[in-house]
Structures are given as structure tokens and as C-alpha cells.
Chains A and B, each alone.
Chain A
């Protein structure tokens, strides 16, 4: 009863169209996105990342010897940049995986931190290693943070990540302590992009096996055209696998509902392996049609049998669908590794800075 009332109450809460329009206008008139404007900044970042990747590739696999080597090479390539980074070399180890904070560089209200992850016992860390959303950055100041993989050395089985932290106010972050922790990561990722899916669309029928679900996610270029204010959607009943475009993802239903083509993709490993994908249609002339909207829903949320579904909906009349071929792109991970890796270190400004 509480859940139903809470949902229905919140469905009535929406930003006014003028608030949304004003926000968009504000963005357009006063703020240019960093990624568009700050090309020199990213060129510098790219240079630093490329340099570090070079360092890792050339460095010896013995960790103790690797860190000084990074700095030696940094000085060879660019003494100015190398001087900006402060060595940190704080490390921890769990489950045969070593995490190390190699170096940090503070400038303006931003901290750039390089962290390495190395598998000491196997090959769980590879060139596709992804910290997923499992990392946490605890700091004593209000800020935003991002983390991305910038390099991999196959010889020492070490992946390097760059963390960027931007302070939001006028707080001086120098001298602050920062804790970076990782609980899990995924690796051995595979992808199949732009591949035909083995389903004959001409045989797709109107479906009466439908249900109304509460969507936990929705997206699509024409989402607003087809959805109401609530998160209730009519979708196909999940069935047995019709086909599996890639191991870990199954098409569990396909059919027409109210004149629109619905295709349902299911995975039992979305939470741990981030398996996902999407479909599109290609006509006889090679023209692509994207889905109009998609909705996500979950069955058995807190059980061991949890299944995550995403249903893709195309507004293509049934008598025309035989002219199209179904294509898709699919992404899965092969390995999920858990552990407790946590390093606390101070953010210090280089004396040379």
C-alpha cells in the first residue's frame, strides 16, 4: 500500500516545462561543455595518458623498479609535466590483486590521480578491465569525480586508471586526505557490434501475452511521444530464449503490441557483469531505423533469480516489417572479481608547481 501510494504520488511530481526549457537555455547561453571548449586541457591529458602508457609498456614488471622508471621516462619526455606529479606509492593487496596509487597532480581546483591495478596471481586484470560503478572516492570536500582506464601493460598484467576530481566550491583541497576504494571490477569484456540477429521479422505476430510493468529505466529518441507521466508500460511476457546474439544476453520475446514492434532482451548478469545491448532495424536500402523508446524492468529484484529485461519498441507497421532486418550491438563481460582494495593518501601540491 505504501509503495503504491508513494509511486503514484511521485508520478505526479514533474518539473514544469518552463523549468526544463530555462535550464536548457541556461546551459546554451552561459555554459559551454568542458569537452567542447577545453581542447587544450584534453590534449594535455591525452599527452600525459599516452606518456604514462608508454612508461608502463617500457617499464620493468618488477613493481618496485617500475615506479622510479615511470618518473625517469616522464623526465625524458617532458620534465615540466613530470615535475607536476607527486609520487604517492601507497598500495594495498587483496585476493591476489594489488592496487597502487602511483602519483597525483593538483592544479586549480582539480586533482589528477593515477592508480594501477595488477593481478599478482592470474590474468583477471586485462585490457578491458572496468571498475564499473564499484569504486568510491571519499574526500572531505564537495566535489565530483570520474575514473577511466588509460592504459594496460600485458607483461605485468597492470591496468592504469586516471581519476579526475574537481572541487565544487572555493575549498583549498591541498593537504586534504583522500580515500580511494574498489569493491569489484569486471574484465574479459567482449562485444559484438552491428551484427545481424537471427530472427525473421516477417513472421512476427501480434502478441496478446502482455503485462503492465513498472519501468526502472526508460530511454529513446521518441520517448516523450509514446509515454505518459507514469512509469507504467505494457510489455511482452518474458518467455524462453528465442535466440542468444551473444552468450549472456537472450531475446526472450518478440511481438506486436498496439501496432508497435516490441523486442525483449534479457540478462541475469546485469548487476555483476554489466551485460547489455540494443537493437536497430536496417531496410533493403541499408537505411537504419533506431528504436523509438526502450523500457527496463526487473523480475525477482532481491532474489537469486533476478532477471533484468530491456524492451525495445519500434514504430514500424506490421505489413512493412518484412522489409527490414534486425541488427544489434551487444556487450558482455566474462569475469567479475571481488575484493576490498582501499588506499588513503594526502593530496599534496608539488613544491615545483
Chain B
């Protein structure tokens, strides 16, 4: 295998390795399959274009998280232009409570969705989220608290 083919194969393996993580984070923010699809491709195209160097796999993962969130922000900045959402653009989850939570998450302020996902799904601590998103720990804590409050109110119970 020549040098160029090796590079492409390595990038393909990175796509497969982080596909679920990137897609879930994208969907967590935009809550639409078609938009998550667009963000997914954009993230990996940026990965190829920028070809960043990483000191560890955690570093690579953090970079992909940052870029996914940045791409989702771009989506929000142009979302006002969209006035229709395809009917089959949503997931139908297995359990009723999961579909109910999905509805609630659609109403949650977009800026809180990423911290909720990184904390509750990716398992990052508050300080780690601060580092990944380049924001203060206190800001993460505040966003998490406000997100929990909004969710508690909508779910009518403690979370």
C-alpha cells in the first residue's frame, strides 16, 4: 500500500471508529436525522481538510467533539431559513419514555443540549467538558444546572 493509500485508509478507520460518537452528538443537538447526516459528513471532511496532529486518542476525540459542536452551531445560525421538517426525520425509540424524553429535548434550549450529552452520555466530568469546549468550569456547571431545571420542569420531576 502506498503512502497516500495508507493515509486514506487511516482516515477511513477514524470515520468508522468515531462514527457513532459524532453522529449521536450531532443528533443530540439538532434532533433531526437529515441535519445530523449533514453535520456528520462536514465534521469528517473538516478532519480530512485540516489533518490535525493529536497527542492521544482522547485528544482526537476532543477535537471531533469540538468540531461537531461548531458545525451544529452553524446549523443553528441558518436554521431560521428552514420552515419545514420531513415527517420521517425523527427517530421512533423503543420505549414510550424514550420518545417522551426526545420530545422534551427538542424543547430544551440548544445551548444546553451539548453539555447534557457530554455529561450524561459521553461520561465527561464538568472540568473535562470545560476543557473540551474551552469554556470555564463554572459556565459548564451553570449550563448543566439550568438544563436540569428546564428538563425537570418539562418532565415534571427531578432528574
**Which A positions have Cβ atoms within 8 angstroms of B?**
1-3, 5-10, 12-15, 19-20, 22-24, 26-28, 31-37, 130, 132-134, 136-138, 142, 144, 146, 148, 166, 168, 183, 214, 216-217, 219, 223-224, 271, 274, 276, 298, 301-302
* Min CB gap B41→A, angstroms: 5
User: Among A5, A33, A219, which residue has its beta carbon within 8 angstroms of that of B11?
Assistant: A33
Q: Does B1 contact A (CB under 8 A)?
A: no
**Which B positions have Cβ atoms within 8 angstroms of A?**
3-4, 7-8, 11-12, 15-17, 19-20, 22-24, 27-28, 36-37, 40-41, 44-46, 48-53, 55-59, 61-63, 67, 70, 74, 91, 93-95, 97-98, 101-102, 116-117, 120-128, 131-132, 134, 151, 155, 159
Q: How far apart sit A271 and B62, CA to CA, in the bound complex (Å)?
A: 13
A142-B70, A301-B123 given as contacts; is B50 within 8 A of A166 (CB)?
Answer: yes
Contact (Cβ within 8 A) B23 A133: no
Residues of chain A with a CB closer than 8 A to B27's CB: 13
Residues of chain A with a CB closer than 8 A to B93's CB: 9, 12
Residues of chain A with a CB closer than 8 A to B49's CB: 31, 34, 166
Contact (Cβ within 8 A) A13 B15: no
Contact (Cβ within 8 A) B98 A274: no
Q: How far apart sit A66 and B76, CA to CA, in the bound complex (Å)?
A: 47
Complex A-B, nearest 6 residue pairs according to Cβ-Cβ distance, in ascending order: A2-B159, A216-B123, A34-B51, A36-B7, A136-B134, A15-B23
Closest to B66 in A: A144
Residues of chain A with a CB closer than 8 A to B11's CB: 27, 33
Closest to B9 in A: A28
Contact (Cβ within 8 A) A20 B15: yes
Contact (Cβ within 8 A) B120 A6: yes
Q: How far apart sit A2 and B116, CA to CA, in the bound complex (Å)?
A: 11
Main secondary structure of the interface of B (DSSP, over half): helix
Contact (Cβ within 8 A) A15 B20: yes
Contact (Cβ within 8 A) A298 B8: no
Q: How far apart sit A35 and B53, CA to CA, in the bound complex (Å)?
A: 10
Main secondary structure of the interface of A (DSSP, over half): mixed
Contact (Cβ within 8 A) B44 A27: yes
Q: How far apart sit A302 and B7, CA to CA, in the bound complex (Å)?
A: 38
Q: How far apart sit A162 and B137, CA to CA, in the bound complex (Å)?
A: 27
Given A13-B23, A144-B46: 4 more A-B contacts, CB < 8 Å: A15-B37, A27-B12, A33-B51, A142-B74
Contact (Cβ within 8 A) A301 B57: no
Contact (Cβ within 8 A) A2 B120: yes
Contact (Cβ within 8 A) B45 A27: yes
User: Among B70, B121, B124, B155, which residue has its beta carbon within 8 angstroms of that of A10?
Assistant: B121
Closest to A169 in B: B74
Contact (Cβ within 8 A) A3 B20: no
Contact (Cβ within 8 A) A8 B95: yes
User: Among A6, A9, A15, A138, which residue has its beta carbon within 8 angstroms of that of B19?
Assistant: A15
